[in-house]
Chain A
């Protein structure tokens, strides 16, 4: 049964494996009706983006070497 917990689980899983046609359809129907899960989708992408950038961020508390 498609609820928000399941929807977010599918959105998360889609980053590791392709979703089946049935899953994609069910997810699409849910996100059409649920604005919170729509937002979650975009924010999930932001997490990946931030993680990529984080790798090259220096420690904010580092003093520059003399």
Chain B
């Protein structure tokens, strides 16, 4: 394994860190026009991400993680400013816009889980991982964050709740939505497309 791509050692690389910081700042500035506030959000996101850098052995996952935290910080900023939610920021609405269920709670026709032939094979395919990466990036900020804390880092529900000041039921809702959305995205963009 190429140790030079591990986030822990990457973060000691000044060039990598500056590059990441620059990308994050550009992203934050698109949504927060206040440069000082954008810088603060980036700083806090990096500090928060560094605490868990040890859990990641690959830079791609770590970067997704960092940006998920950044989106959350940006959301916090808007809440503090008491602005109405900015369209550019992914805000988790009470009823998720991507709900795959009909009003009576049954699966919508186009969203019913289909058969996934040989899913284990997908894990060996680099194209699958590109799709997975993309699906992860399309999760709303808070959903991405809790999903990664739970499934990547392996924090317990209580640990996540305490860390993010969430109620347990809040967490369950977020994880449910994240899993529904991620599963749906993978089916739509991989398993439906790659039938043998």
- The residue that A65 contacts in the complex, of B2, B59, B112, B130, with Cβ under 8 A, is B2
Complex contacts, B130 vs chain A, CB 8 Å:
60
Give the total number of A-B pairs whose CB atoms are below 8 A apart: 111
- Tell me if A8 and B132 are in contact (CB < 8 A): no
Please classify the interface of chain A as helix (H, G, I), strand (E, B), loop, or mixed, using the class held by over half of its residues: helix
Min Cβ gap B164→A in Å is 14
Q: Interface code B139-156, partner A: CB below 8 Å = 1, 0 otherwise?
A: 000000001101110001
Inter-subunit contact B183/A5 (CB<8 Å): no
The reply to whether B61 and A55 contact each other, CB–CB distance below 8 Å, is yes
Q: A57 is contacted by which of B55, B129, B186 (Cβ under 8 Å)?
A: B129
Most buried by A among B55, B63, B112, B116: B112
Interface: A4 (CB within 8 A)? yes
Interface of B: prevailing SS: helix
| Size class of the A contact interface (CB-based, 8 Å) | 35 or more
CA distance A52 to B2 in the complex (A): 19
A58: which of B59, B114, B150, B187 is its contact (CB, 8 Å)?
B59
Q: In whole angstroms, what is the CA distance A17 to B1 when docked?
A: 35
* Residues A40 and B60 in contact, CB atoms below 8 Å apart: no
Q: Are A8 and B61 in contact (CB under 8 A)?
A: no
Known: A60-B60, A62-B59. 18 other contacts (CB 8 A): A3-B105, A4-B106, A8-B180, A12-B175, A15-B150, A16-B171, A39-B115, A44-B183, A46-B116, A47-B151, A47-B186, A48-B151, A55-B57, A56-B58, A57-B60, A58-B60, A59-B60, A64-B2
Listed A/B pairs (8) with beta-carbon separation below 8 Å: A4-B101, A9-B176, A39-B113, A52-B151, A54-B58, A55-B61, A57-B58, A62-B59
